[in-house]
Amino acid sequence: MKKNRIKRKLADSGIIFIENEFSALLFGETENWEEKINAGCLAAKITAKPVANYILCRNGENPEAPVIPSCSDDETDGIEYDVAVIGGGVVGAAVLRELSKWNLKAVLLEKECDLAFHASGRNDGMIHPGFAAKPGSKKAYYNVRGNEMYTQLTKDLKVPFVRKGSMILLANPLYRLAVPYMLRRAQKNGVPGCRYLSKKELYREEPNLACRAAGAFLMPTSGQLSPQKLVCALAENAVQNGAAVRLQTAAVDFRFEKNRITQIVTNRGVIKVRAVVNAAGGWADWVAARAGDPLFTLHFRKGEDLILDKKSSAFIRRIYAMPRLSQVKSKSKGGGLVPTVEGNTLVGPTAHEVCSRDDYSTARGDVLELEKHIRLNEKLSDRQIITYFAGIRACSYDEDFIVEPSKRVDNLFHLAAIQSPGLASAPALAEEAVDWVVKLLSREEPVSPNPSFNPVREDKRYDYDLMSEEEKDAFLKENPLYGKIVCRCEQVSEGEIRDVLRSPVPPTTLDGIRHRARAMTGRCHGGFCTPKIVRIMIDERKLKSADIVKKNRFSPLFFGETKEEQ
């Protein structure tokens, strides 16, 4: 009955709802983006199929097509690959690494000039426990599996990771009644170790809590890591094991034979492929449509975070938040305090619908909204804010992940609408996709495991941080440049910067160095170290001042040199 009411409501506002074999389609016009999204969400309630929302906004709010990199050459022209992964976020990178375990020629195509440029470089880095997702959803399934995989994965990839555990603070004693339901949900999703913390236990663990909580629900498997580091590490390890990463290469079009994609047209030539994985994040719907399978469309939810000075680490142990009852049903978890592996504290994220796939600008109001979380802890204050950032989650209308082979194209697999907890789920999602790819390709000829696959990525800084002082001393004698500290806030050495510049997927931008080495991220925000890093980069790569860029070719730091004809 509800179904009919919704259908009528949509019809009344002039919106056409039709279902075809694969999707539910929406056509018509709305005044603005918000109304369009509302219509999409309504539609999702009455169909089990993905929603493809083709409503036009009269005010012109319509998300853009991707910006195709302006460089164009034939670098990739004619190269044959077994598998192409589209998208260099955490999902694409995890898929590439998973593929590199097999004797397959795999390539990752990323349109930006570095990895983790979009959602995967702009999130909280939390490895969620898998509690929040609805039991039975794909989110719940892959999140719990992914979370489990992170212990071994981060050890192999040498990415610092800690399971700090996260807590839902119970705002008043009545909320305790919800604990049995929460435990049941945890059990259904398969989240291990959850338990109730009494008020006493809670305050013993977190003596700086400023709010009056009646207790807490603890999920001990929650962890945190640097998402940028992880994405780069996944891709580097894949490259070491024979896979390829092609940056500034966008998948623009596809060529078919019958129902199979045989060629991908990029701005740098046409490559030949036998299977394709769509991990294009915020553009996954665009890529799907290009690839002949307009199964779904995405909508976009922006989130902002504040970053607090490392000093905050002394005052907070676990990840926590105090959600209001009204938030429990809402789509976002409302944000909270997230102590990071490096010692900073993230505050956030917020959540609001936007009509853009990549508008990462921040605004004052959104940031102010987050200060309520800071007040949860009496030792934290807005004076400790060192910076803030925004990211965008790409969502489907039923808010679940899309993890499935295309029904229209025989050799295409979608990993789309991977919103939060996409980072936590990525390793499990990758397994799923690669499992399918291997089966598919095995039908043509047997696919064998890569005999020389080495899961371990080398990272001297990671090793260094785990060394005893004697070992450090010996290490520095062998690696003297590691004793030359360049970034004083994060204690990053010249040796580390040079190693990053020589890594298997080397950065070409200052942001790329920042993501991999954390230099320029501290409280001085690169004030002291950026000039030094610029010098190292120029020396290492034999560049000129004008070649140094922040994020891409259009963001040069300098207009040449002084005393030069300009």
Ligand X SMILES: Cc1cc2nc3c(=O)[nH]c(=O)nc-3n(C[C@H](O)[C@H](O)[C@H](O)COP(=O)(O)OP(=O)(O)OC[C@H]3O[C@@H](n4cnc5c(N)ncnc54)[C@H](O)[C@@H]3O)c2cc1C
Q: Quick one: CA torsion of 268, 269, 272, 273, rounded to 10 degrees?
A: 30
What is the edge-to-edge ordering of all strands in the sheet holding 16-19?
Answer: 16-19, 24-27, 51-53
Comparing CB distances to ligand X, the nearer of 33 and 117 is: 117
Tell me the C-alpha to C-alpha distance, in Å, between residue 524 and each of 123, 324, 483, 519, 520: 21, 35, 21, 10, 8
- Taking CB under 6 A as the rule, which mask of x and - marks residues 420-449 in contact with ligand X? xxxxx-------------------------
Place of tokens 């074999």: 21
Give residue number: closest CB to ligand X: 422
Query: Is residue 542 near other proteins by the rule CB under 8 A?
Result: no
Q: What's the CA gap between 461 and 458, in Å, rounded?
A: 9
Beta-bridged to residue 217, according to DSSP, are: 168, 196
Shortest distance, CB of residue 197 to ligand X, whole angstroms? 22
Shortest distance, CB of residue 517 to other proteins, whole angstroms? 16
- Residues in region 456-475 near other proteins by CB under 8 A: 469-470, 472-474
- Residues in region 265-324 near other proteins by CB under 8 A: 311
Q: What's the CA gap between 344 and 338, in Å, rounded?
A: 8
Sequence-ordered list of residues with C-beta below 8 angstroms from that of 251, at least 6 positions apart, any chain: 84, 86, 109, 111, 264, 265, 266, 280, 287, 290
Query: CB of 409 within 8 A of CB of 288?
Result: no
Q: Tell me which stretch binds ligand X (CB under 6 A): 53-61, 112-120, 449-457, 532-540.
A: 112-120
Closest by CA to 529, choosing from 547, 514, 512, 544, is 514
Comparing CB distances to ligand X, the nearer of 26 and 261 is: 261
Query: Is residue 78 near other proteins by the rule CB under 8 A?
Result: no
Comparing CB distances to other proteins, the nearer of 193 and 527 is: 527
Shortest distance, CB of residue 86 to other proteins, whole angstroms? 23
Query: Is residue 47 near other proteins by the rule CB under 8 A?
Result: no
- Counting Cα atoms < 13 Å in the Cβ hemisphere of 409 gives 27
**Three-state secondary-structure class, residue 131:** coil
Confirm whether 525 is a catalytic residue. Answer: no
Q: Tell me which stretch binds other proteins (CB under 8 A): 247-255, 395-403, 417-425, 521-529.
A: 521-529
What are 181's two structure tokens?
Answer: 């339901």
Query: Is residue 68 near other proteins by the rule CB under 8 A?
Result: no
- Taking CB under 6 A as the rule, which mask of x and - marks residues 244-273 in contact with ligand X? ------xx----------------------
Binding residue for other proteins (CB under 8 A) from 192, 387, 462, 498? 387
Query: CB of 245 within 8 A of CB of 107?
Result: yes
- Residues in region 305-324 near ligand X by CB under 6 A: 305
Shortest distance, CB of residue 39 to ligand X, whole angstroms? 23
Sequence-ordered list of residues with C-beta below 8 angstroms from that of 84, at least 6 positions apart, any chain: 106, 107, 108, 109, 251, 264, 271, 273, 275, 276, 277
Q: Tell me which stretch binds other proteins (CB under 8 A): 342-350, 359-367, 371-379, 435-443.
A: 359-367
Q: Exposed, middle or buried: residue 388 (CB in 10 Å: 0-12, 13-18, 19+)?
A: middle
Query: Is residue 335 near ligand X by the rule CB under 6 A?
Result: no
Q: Which does 550 bind (CB under 5 to 8 A by kind): ligand X, other proteins, none?
A: other proteins
Which of 118, 128, 299, 515 is an active site residue?
128
**Three-state secondary-structure class, residue 199:** helix
Query: Is residue 376 near ligand X by the rule CB under 6 A?
Result: no
Closest by CA to 66, choosing from 267, 263, 256, 270, is 267
- Taking CB under 6 A as the rule, which mask of x and - marks residues 289-308 in contact with ligand X? --------------x-x---
Place of tokens 């900073």: 344
Query: CB of 298 within 8 A of CB of 105?
Result: no
Phi, psi of 549 (to 5 degrees): -125, 155
Number of chain residues interacting with ligand X (CB under 6 A): 43
Q: Tell me which stretch binds ligand X (CB under 6 A): 27-35, 116-124, 129-137, 548-556.
A: 116-124
Query: Is residue 345 near other proteins by the rule CB under 8 A?
Result: no
Q: Tell me which stretch binds other proteins (CB under 8 A): 93-101, 397-405, 416-424, 477-485.
A: 477-485
Amino acid at 541: R
Phi, psi of 390 (to 5 degrees): -130, 150
Binding residue for ligand X (CB under 6 A) from 6, 23, 99, 122? 122
Query: Is residue 225 near ligand X by the rule CB under 6 A?
Result: no
Q: 144-163 b/e with 16+ CB inside 10 Å = b?
A: bbbbbbbeebbeebbbbbeb
Shortest distance, CB of residue 77 to ligand X, whole angstroms? 16
Q: Which residues are catalytic?
A: 128
Which residues sit at the interface with ligand X, rule CB under 6 A? 66, 86-92, 109-112, 117-120, 122-126, 128, 250-251, 279-283, 287, 303, 305, 349, 391-393, 418-424
Which residues sit at the interface with other proteins, rule CB under 8 A? 311, 360-364, 367, 385-389, 469-470, 472-474, 476-477, 480-481, 483-485, 488, 491, 523-528, 530-531, 534-535, 545, 549-552, 554-564, 566
